[in-house]
Structure 1
Amino acid sequence: MKQIVKLKKETSFIVIMIIALFAFNACSSDDDNVATDEGSSELTINDYVQIATGQVTLYDKDGAVINSLSSGDTFYGQDANYLKGVTMSFNEDDEGITTDNNTGLMWEQIPTTDEFTWEEAKEYCENLELGGYDDWRMPNLKELYSVADFGKGWPYIDTNYFALASGEVSKDEQFWSSNLYVGVTVEGGANAAFGVNIVTGHIKAYAASMPEDGGTDGGTPPDGNTPPPGDGNGAPTGNPLAKYVRAVRGDVYGTNSFTANGDDTVSDSNTGLMWAQGDDGVTLDWADALAYAENSELAGYTDWRLPNVKELQGIVDYSHSPTATDAANVGPAIDPIFDCTEMISEAGYDDYGYYWTGTSANFTSGQPYYYAWYVAFGRAVNDEGEDFHGAGGVRFDTKDVDGPAGEDAERYYNYVRLVRDIN
């Protein structure tokens, strides 16, 4: 009898262990860090950790290097005074992959020399097998900009870890992002997608595909005063321009988590930054914009500053544009929790302006850093005031009215969006 009782106990124990094992396996299959398919594994992505721009040098309005600046000095408050964000850090493995040690993203280190339309680039990334992984994808703009190095310039990327597609420092080093443009551009009509030029540092909306009729733009935006680009009767878009692509893998990086604080400020819990909810409607040259930010007091805080280019690009909402073809998306390229001053553009459209950053830029390799980066929350215009680069584009202007001319119509006076660190 004792043997029978003992056997029953052992049998019960075995059954319990089998049930527990099945339960453990069931739970493990839902674990985000467990490989689910051969050749793919999930990565831990660090929400929206803010990455430094890499710019550590101070510049005046003419691009001359300044050895040091103290609070209250002219040009104090620029990017290199604050050095905000974690230092860029990468690791190269033997499989042609670069890992960003801050974000956790894995990047295709050596892009293919082939050029693609936007759809072709997306397909290439999704079909890529590299380093034993098959879950590659096209990166979004905030991911592409997280690895941009504004301490270098021409190219604006660390070529020790990221190879150029052409192998040459050329303005043709334009890389697609996953962000389609919801608005209408001169080149792409309503068929545009954003990309990053890793040599010039710009973000621009490029023609992504040919319209179905082969010759007119993809639609007229619904704001009452905006004609289609070109002659007003349907602008030719020309052939789509093929671009390069650099695949990435990992969960999406660059998601904001905004909260309106009820005191004219907005906090982003993912980046740890607090923003002014609106602007005061005043446009300034770069030096005055720096001074304005340094001397601002809002909601009881006095530690406001001018954002650097990665911080300001980080609050762009690419689902909005003044030229959006869907009326629900018409507006500045920023979350509706924020306010932007309305303005009249050079072409007479209801529009929104450019906003200064504290980050300097050079027009070409070897030139002084007499430009400063801005983010366009409204149309990023050409000489005719048309939406050429797309709302959410990132460009640069000369720092004051006496600066050298750039590629497009200059706006020497731009708006300020204040930022401060929550902690």
Structure 2
Amino acid sequence: MTVHFQNSRRLWLASLAAVAGSRILPRLSASLHIPAPAQYQDNGDGTVTDTISGLTWQQTDAGEMTLEAAQQYAEQLQLGGYTDWRLPHPMELFCIMDHRLHGPAMNTRWFPATAARYWWTETARPDSREKYWQVNTGGGIGAHAKSEAIGAGGENPVHTRCVRGPSPWGAGPRLQKNTDGTVTDQVTGLVWQQQLNSQAMTWEQAQEYCRELSLAGQSDWRLPTIRELRSISDDRLAQPSLNPDFFSGADSVPCWSGTTQMNRPERAWYTDFTSGLVTYRDKTERMQVLAVRGSNPLTAEPT
């Protein structure tokens, strides 16, 4: 009887997960000790669906082009039976990068390697409209002048990969300031330390600081993944890009993530909240810290 009940419960929860969608499935899978599904699904028509975000991606990028050509290409693209393709939001594109990999930092099982060094996004830097955010093959994000693309007379091979579907990072209120010294991101559910730590520290010291932090009655604080940390950089803002309406002491400073650079373990990734730049430094250098707790498949490191 007990075995029959457990099997029935397992089947019921699995069915519930299928109905509720991919955002609940990882939590159910963990509680049932069954494997979560692969993050990507090859649709067999030149597209790949991210089963976590629900976004559908152009599988092979469209090659090097200027920003204006990329925008026109996206408007005219017909692929997989759809015509509503667009250039991606910076976080959409950043979240298909895999920082466990290098050269490129992207899973080529789903996204074939090309000659790309950068990919266009839809978003300009707010304090310099000639610069658009690009994600690079190494796994970073930077705002580069449109004129740096090869097609515009520059030297950078900037390629185009289109996406379709409602964006989890779209417009609308996301952050909620709590009364206990924390901020909740209502998209990811992550809870953030509200006060930016003002003392610069090494990566190891930052890890220890988070482990020892007791805040809002909780002690399970940690350094954020690089996806998590970049997710709170507001692309509508600059100097700082960390919204001071929600984060006390927000400043144009770099903050450590807990993500180690795959091919250089003495380095770790960070976000510079001057603008939202993502790159890496030696772990012995000193930067600020913003602790987080909770988890969400959207911003978790791939497994």
TM-score by length of 1: 0.57
SS in 1 for 2:161: coil
Higher strand share: 2
Whether 1:180 and 2:95 are equivalent positions in the alignment is no
1:415 paired residue among 276, 288, 295: 288
Segments of 5+ residues of structure 1 without an aligned counterpart are: 1-45, 53-85, 167-171, 185-189, 211-236, 323-331, 343-350, 379-390, 401-411
d(CA) in 1 for partners of 2:103 and 2:261?
A: 10
Whether 1:96 and 2:7 are equivalent positions in the alignment is no
Once the two structures are superposed, residues 185-232 of structure 1 have per-residue CA deviations (whole angstroms, 9 ceiling, x without a partner) of xxxxx510000012x11101111259xxxxxxxxxxxxxxxxxxxxxx
After the TM superposition, which residues 261-410 of structure 1 pair with which residues of structure 2 at under 5 Å, given as runs?
261-322=178-239, 332-339=240-247, 341=249, 352-362=252-262, 367-378=263-274, 391-400=275-284
After the TM superposition, which residues 56-205 of structure 1 pair with which residues of structure 2 at under 5 Å, given as runs?
89-113=39-63, 115-166=64-115, 172-184=116-128, 190-198=129-137, 200-205=138-143
d(CA) in 1 for partners of 2:71 and 2:175?
A: 29
**8 Å CA contact retained: 2:118, 2:156:** no
SS in 2 for 1:119: helix
Amino acid at match of 1:165: T
The alpha carbon displacement at 1:147 in A equals 1.1
- Structure number with bigger Rg: 1
**8 Å CA contact retained: 2:168, 2:187:** no
The alpha carbon displacement at 1:422 in A equals 8.0
Once the two structures are superposed, residues 119-158 of structure 1 have per-residue CA deviations (whole angstroms, 9 ceiling, x without a partner) of 2211111111111111100011110111111122221111
Partner of 1:250: 165
Summarize the Cα distance change of 1:204–1:87 in structure 2 as closer, same or farther, 3 Å threshold: farther
d(CA) in 2 for partners of 1:108 and 1:92?
A: 10
Amino acid at match of 1:360: T
Segments of 5+ residues of structure 2 without an aligned counterpart are: 1-20, 27-35, 297-303
Amino acid at match of 2:266: Y
**8 Å CA contact retained: 1:103, 1:253:** yes
Q: Percent identity at matched positions? A: 32
Partner of 2:12: none
Partner of 2:6: none
**8 Å CA contact retained: 2:90, 2:121:** yes
Whether 1:206 and 2:144 are equivalent positions in the alignment is yes
Partner of 1:3: none
Once the two structures are superposed, residues 355-397 of structure 1 have per-residue CA deviations (whole angstroms, 9 ceiling, x without a partner) of 00000004xxxx432210000101xxxxxxxxxxxx1010000
Summarize the Cα distance change of 1:399–1:418 in structure 2 as closer, same or farther, 3 Å threshold: same
**8 Å CA contact retained: 1:333, 1:392:** yes
Summarize the Cα distance change of 1:360–1:321 in structure 2 as closer, same or farther, 3 Å threshold: same
SS in 1 for 2:70: helix
d(CA) in 1 for partners of 2:181 and 2:242?
A: 16
Size of the aligned set, in residue pairs, is: 261
Amino acid at match of 1:337: D
d(CA) in 2 for partners of 1:88 and 1:195?
A: 26
Amino acid at match of 1:174: Y
